[in-house]
């Protein structure tokens, strides 16, 4: 009886493992293939008998990408815009969440709903109005344009998530700080924000990844080569002459690195460090 | 080490204080109330009676709809909480989770621009009194409930405030620790002698710790006096029933004046009223009354009974060790009594009992107000509590909580 049960349990576990690994393989294979391709020379890339690993290992594609394209410029553009948008969402989101959880004002519930509504709009619907607004402000083709748009589209999510975080902080903490002589702003910075750090980091990562990978808005708002972000830049490897697979894959690999770094390092450290006391990072 | 804060504590006076929530709800309505400097005063009442709101009004965390609050001569109604020079201990302690114990104690001092040396002196003093020395570098989450409680007290102490406000500070502790901390709080108050305003719904805490109790109901103060006065001369049926455990016995009946003798008459009962209760009786405006008698004023006659004794059947016997609580089924209804020691009392036994008429309370059956005058002057404020001899060991055995 027991042996039978154990056997069935074993089969079950084996089945679950197999399925899980299959899904992981399907998800990871394109990334692996990009990495593998970026390390081959052109001859090998177009060869008719593909191999799993590069036969002649080479960094030539990375060299081409760095020297011949505008990659470093695009990388720094993307970094500035992604960090700018994330910080801006965290900043405004925290202030908004503070006021939504600590004050009562007319139309509070309504304002929250409206914010959520904007999040539910498909971005494409906003393309034309947003472009007109930014053109009138003479902001198109600039970092500011993308930071504003990414903040506007990311803020609803940031506000709702941070609001949940702020709600979980007992109001007595505010009151204790105020009795201790802190002003509202001091209360926010000394007492509340430290409790909301896990939430703020989650939002930061989330908005960073969104901004980093966004293709739609740079395509519409950026025209000059010097302002291009990485996703736009990747497109330049696909031109009239065909696909430059080697440099394209090299750029893709480097493009993916910051995100991979954010998720593996920061997030795992965060979950370990703060999970014990203040609640883990949730996505 | 034992710096007293007498010079710093102040009278707290509430004047026509009202707090209205929403449009109609009158949460607090206190005509006039004086909390004398250095006293331990408890606001006692069931949940929703406005006691916590009153405390928040005193703290400045809520703004009154009408009325004023004075600390000494200073009107503080419009003063921000941080500038009122008060400290508060919250039910959930509200320690800053990301700061060490030391930083928790120090935060309020920094915000009040207390010099570094002075900060250090006060932290040393408070951590000695509360035995926090070895916990100073820990974070709140690494502390037990009892330790967190002491840190919260310490954070209030170092401020050397004009008044301590305590909002049900013991209700998150387990029963054993609560008993210990109760004693610690009494000692602490004796040690630092500052005004303490304490909010609780637990009448035992109120009775055991306070110099004065304000019994509150529906936002109003029902009675404000010394605990023993409130216990012995409750001003209303509500106060009588809220204080005391087991609760007071209450019976409805009629007050009759017949041939110069006053009697309480209920179905099957005809009780002559004599002695003190007659002298204290106001003009008997109401004839429909509620008679109240505390369990210890019901006398059980286990051996010989006086001729006019009533008789009841034993339905519950609770032996607690030092006393036994006996419930009798009688023509009046259930009568709860307490007798000294462990008594061999059988269930269903018929036992004669009588009321100690000195301990009778009479209330108007419709309004619930007492129709007896208080037996002693209740206005005098006396330091009735004997000095506590063992001050130095303020905390002991509370580590394990």
The answer to whether the beta carbons of residues B182 and B149 sit under 8 Å apart is: no
Amino acid B273: pLDDT: 84
Task: Please tell me the least confidently modeled range out of A113-117, A274-278, B101-105, B298-302.
Answer: A274-278
pLDDT at residue B386 greater than cutoff 50: no
Decide yes or no: CATH 2.60.120.10 for domain A68-275. Answer: no
The number of C-beta contacts closer than 8 angstroms across A and B is 67
What is the per-residue pLDDT across B106-140, written as a single tens digit (0 to 9) for each? 999 999 999 999 999 999 999 998 889 999 999 99
Amino acid A2: pLDDT: 67
CA distance B153 to chain A (A): 12
DSSP of A91-145, one letter per residue? HHHHHHHHHHHH---TTHHHHHHHHHHHHHS-HHHHHHHHHHHHHHTT-SSSHHH
Nearest residue in A to B83, CA atom: A181
Asked if B100 has any chain A CB less than 8 Å from its own CB, the reply is: no
DSSP state letter for A265: I
Nearest residue in B to A192, CA atom: B96
CA dihedral A139, A144, A148, A151 (to 10 degrees): 170
DSSP state letter for B247: P
Q: What is the CA radius of gyration of chain B?
A: 24
Asked if B70 has any chain A CB less than 8 Å from its own CB, the reply is: no
Residues of B in contact with A170 (CB under 8 A): 92, 94
Q: Which residues share a beta bridge with A32?
A: none
Task: Please tell me the least confidently modeled range out of B44-53, B236-245, B305-314.
Answer: B305-314
Asked if B139 has any chain A CB less than 8 Å from its own CB, the reply is: yes
Residue with tokens 């803020």: A155
Amino acid B378: pLDDT: 43
Which of A218, A203, A199 lies closest to A134 in space, CA to CA?
A218
For residue B263, what are its two tokens? 């009697």
Asked if B288 has any chain A CB less than 8 Å from its own CB, the reply is: no
From the list A172, A182, A195, which residue is nearest B82 (CB)?
A182
Nearest residue in B to A182, CA atom: B111
pLDDT at residue A75 greater than cutoff 80: yes
From the list A173, A186, A190, which residue is nearest B94 (CB)?
A173
From the list B61, B98, B108, which residue is nearest A180 (CB)?
B108
Which of B56, B90, A201 lies closest to B104 in space, CA to CA?
B90
Greater model confidence, A260 or A19: A19
pLDDT at residue B381 greater than cutoff 50: no
For residue A76, what are its two tokens? 């720094």
Strands (E), B144-280: 163-167, 195-200, 212-217, 220-225, 249-258, 261-266, 269-273
- The answer for B224, left when phi > 0, alpha when psi is -120 to 50, beta otherwise, is beta
Residues of A in contact with B98 (CB under 8 A): 194-195, 278
CA distance A265 to chain B (A): 22
Residues of B in contact with A182 (CB under 8 A): 82, 107, 111
Domain ranges for chain A, please list them: 2-60, 68-275
Interface touch B82/A180, C-beta < 8 Å: yes
Q: What is the CA radius of gyration of chain A?
A: 24
CA distance A273 to chain B (A): 12
CA distance B4 to chain A (A): 21
How many DSSP H helices and E strands does chain B contain? Answer: 9, 20
Interface touch B97/A195, C-beta < 8 Å: yes
Amino acid B400: pLDDT: 39
Interface touch B94/A186, C-beta < 8 Å: no
Interface touch A278/B97, C-beta < 8 Å: yes
Superfamily of domain B6-232: P-loop containing nucleotide triphosphate hydrolases (3.40.50.300)
The answer to whether the beta carbons of residues A272 and A203 sit under 8 Å apart is: no
Strands (E), B78-211: 86-89, 163-167, 195-200
The answer to whether the beta carbons of residues B335 and B312 sit under 8 Å apart is: yes
Nearest residue in B to A176, CA atom: B94
Residues of B in contact with A191 (CB under 8 A): 96
From the list A176, A186, A194, which residue is nearest B98 (CB)?
A194
| Strand order, beta sheet including B25-35 | B25-35, B12-21, B66-71, B74-75
Among A169, A178, A180, the residue to mutate for chain B (most B Cβ within 10 A): A180
The answer to whether the beta carbons of residues A223 and A135 sit under 8 Å apart is: no
Interface touch B107/A177, C-beta < 8 Å: yes
Residues of A in contact with B90 (CB under 8 A): 172, 175-176
Asked if B331 has any chain A CB less than 8 Å from its own CB, the reply is: no
pLDDT at residue A3 greater than cutoff 80: no
The Cα-based distances of B400 to B102, B172, B173, B211 in angstroms read 21, 15, 12, 30
What is the per-residue pLDDT across A158-190, written as a single tens digit (0 to 9) for each? 998 899 889 989 999 999 999 999 999 999 999
Range list of H helices, chain A: 2-38, 42-45, 60-68, 71-102, 108-120, 123-136, 143-167, 171-179, 184-186, 193-213, 216-221, 230-235, 245-261, 268-275
Asked if B112 has any chain A CB less than 8 Å from its own CB, the reply is: yes
pLDDT at residue A148 greater than cutoff 70: yes
Which of A163, A199, A186, A191 lies closest to B98 in space, CA to CA?
A191
Asked if B59 has any chain A CB less than 8 Å from its own CB, the reply is: yes
**3-state secondary structure at position B52:** helix
What is the per-residue pLDDT across A208-259, written as a single tens digit (0 to 9) for each? 999 999 999 999 999 888 888 999 888 878 777 778 888 888 888 989 988 8
How far is C-alpha A235 from the chain's CA centre?
20
CA distance A280 to chain B (A): 15
pLDDT at residue A283 greater than cutoff 90: no
Which of A231, A234, A232, A207 lies closest to A88 in space, CA to CA?
A207
What is the per-residue pLDDT across B358-368, written as a single tens digit (0 to 9) for each? 889 999 999 99
Amino acid A211: pLDDT: 95
DSSP state letter for B68: E
Residues of A in contact with B88 (CB under 8 A): 175-176, 179
CA distance A162 to chain B (A): 18
**How many CB atoms lie under 10 A from the CB of residue A226?**
10
What is the per-residue pLDDT across A210-223, written as a single tens digit (0 to 9) for each? 999 999 999 999 98
Task: Please tell me the least confidently modeled range out of B149-158, B263-272, B292-301.
Answer: B263-272
Percent of residues, chain A, with pLDDT higher than 70: 93
Q: What is the mean pLDDT of chain B?
A: 87
Give the long-range contacts of residues A267-275, CB within 8 A, separation 24 or more. A267/A205, A270/A198, A270/A201, A274/A197, A274/A198
The Cα-based distances of A248 to A40, A48, A227, A252, B379 in angstroms read 12, 20, 19, 6, 91
pLDDT at residue B388 greater than cutoff 60: no
How far is C-alpha B18 from the chain's CA centre?
22
Interface touch B96/A182, C-beta < 8 Å: no
Domain ranges for chain B, please list them: 6-232, 237-364
Fold of B237-364: OB fold (Dihydrolipoamide Acetyltransferase, E2P) (2.40.50)
Residues of A with CB under 8 A from a CB of B: 170, 172-173, 175-183, 186, 190-191, 194-195, 276-278
The answer to whether the beta carbons of residues B225 and B381 sit under 8 Å apart is: no
Residues of B in contact with A195 (CB under 8 A): 97-98
Label residue B285 by pLDDT band (50, 70, 90): low
Interface touch A175/B94, C-beta < 8 Å: yes
ipTM exceeds 0.85, yes or no: no
The answer to whether the beta carbons of residues B211 and B201 sit under 8 Å apart is: no
Interface touch B108/A278, C-beta < 8 Å: no
pLDDT at residue B6 greater than cutoff 70: no
């Amino acid at each position: 009886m027991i042996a039978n049960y154990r056997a069935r349990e074993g089969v079950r576990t084996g089945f679950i493992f197999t399925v899980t690994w299959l899904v992981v393989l399907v998800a990871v294979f394109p990334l692996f293939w990009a990495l593998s391709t970026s390390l081959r020379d052109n001859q090998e890339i177009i060869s008719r008998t593909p191999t799993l690993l590069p036969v002649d290992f080479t960094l030539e594609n990375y060299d081409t990408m760095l020297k011949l394209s505008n990659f470093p410029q695009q990388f720094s553009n993307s970094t500035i815009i992604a960090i700018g948008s994330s910080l801006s969402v965290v900043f405004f989101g925290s202030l908004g969440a503070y006021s939504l959880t600590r004050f009562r004002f007319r139309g509070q519930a309504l304002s929250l709903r409206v914010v959520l509504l904007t999040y539910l709009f498909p971005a494409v619907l906003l393309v034309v109005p947003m472009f007109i607004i930014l053109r009138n402000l003479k902001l198109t083709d600039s970092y500011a344009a993308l930071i504003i748009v990414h903040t506007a589209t990311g803020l609803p999510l940031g506000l709702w998530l941070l609001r949940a975080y702020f709600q979980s902080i007992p109001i007595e903490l505010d009151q204790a700080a105020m009795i201790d002589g802190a002003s509202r702003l001091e209360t926010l910075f000394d007492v509340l924000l430290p409790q909301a750090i896990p939430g703020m980091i989650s939002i930061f990562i989330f908005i960073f990844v969104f901004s980093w990978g966004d293709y739609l808005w740079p395509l519409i708002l950026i025209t000059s080569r010097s302002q291009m972000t990485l996703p736009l830049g990747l497109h330049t490897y696909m031109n009239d002459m065909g696909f430059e697979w080697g440099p394209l894959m090299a750029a893709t690999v480097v493009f993916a690195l910051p995100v991979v770094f954010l998720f593996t390092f920061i997030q795992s450290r965060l979950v370990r460090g703060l999970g014990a006391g203040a609640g883990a990072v949730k996505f | 080490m034992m710096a007293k804060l007498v010079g710093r504590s102040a009278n707290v006076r509430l004047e026509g204080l009202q707090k209205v929530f929403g449009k109609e709800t009158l949460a607090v309505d206190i005509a006039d109330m004086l909390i004398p400097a250095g006293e331990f005063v408890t606001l006692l009442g069931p949940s929703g009676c406005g006691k916590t709101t009153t405390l928040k009004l005193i703290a400045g965390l809520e703004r009154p709809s009408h009325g004023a609050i004075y600390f000494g001569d200073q009107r503080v109604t419009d003063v921000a909480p941080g500038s009122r020079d008060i400290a508060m201990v919250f039910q959930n302690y509200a320690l800053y989770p990301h700061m060490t114990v030391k930083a928790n104690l120090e935060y309020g001092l920094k915000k009040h621009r207390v010099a570094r040396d002075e900060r250090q002196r006060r932290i040393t003093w408070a951590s000695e009194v509360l035995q926090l020395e070895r916990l100073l570098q820990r974070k709140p989450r690494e502390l037990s409930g009892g330790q967190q409680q002491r840190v919260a007290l310490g954070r209030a102490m170092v401020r050397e405030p004009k008044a301590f406000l305590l909002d049900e500070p013991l209700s998150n502790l387990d029963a054993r620790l609560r008993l210990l901390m109760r004693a610690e709080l009494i000692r602490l108050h004796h040690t630092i002698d500052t005004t303490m305003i304490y909010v609780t719904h637990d009448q035992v805490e109120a009775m055991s710790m306070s110099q004065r109790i304000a019994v509150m109901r529906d936002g109003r103060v029902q009675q404000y006096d010394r605990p023993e006065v409130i216990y012995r001369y409750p001003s209303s049926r509500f106060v009588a029933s809220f204080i005391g455990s087991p609760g007071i016995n209450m019976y409805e009946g009629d007050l009759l004046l017949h041939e110069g003798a006053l009697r309480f008459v209920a179905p099957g009962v005809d009780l002559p009223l004599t002695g003190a209760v007659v002298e204290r009786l106001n003009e008997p405006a109401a004839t429909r009354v509620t008679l109240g008698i505390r369990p210890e004023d019901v006398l059980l006659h286990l051996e010989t009974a006086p001729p006019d004794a009533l008789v009841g059947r034993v339905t519950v016997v609770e032996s607690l060790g030092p006393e036994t609580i006996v419930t009798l089924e009688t023509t009046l209804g259930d009568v709860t009594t307490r007798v000294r020691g462990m008594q061999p009392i059988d269930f269903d036994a018929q036992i004669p009992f009588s009321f100690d008429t000195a301990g009778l309370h009479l209330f108007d059956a419709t309004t619930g107000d007492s129709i007896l005058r208080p037996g002693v002057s209740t206005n005098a404020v006396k330091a009735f509590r004997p000095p506590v001899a063992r001050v130095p060991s303020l905390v002991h055995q509370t580590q394990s909580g």
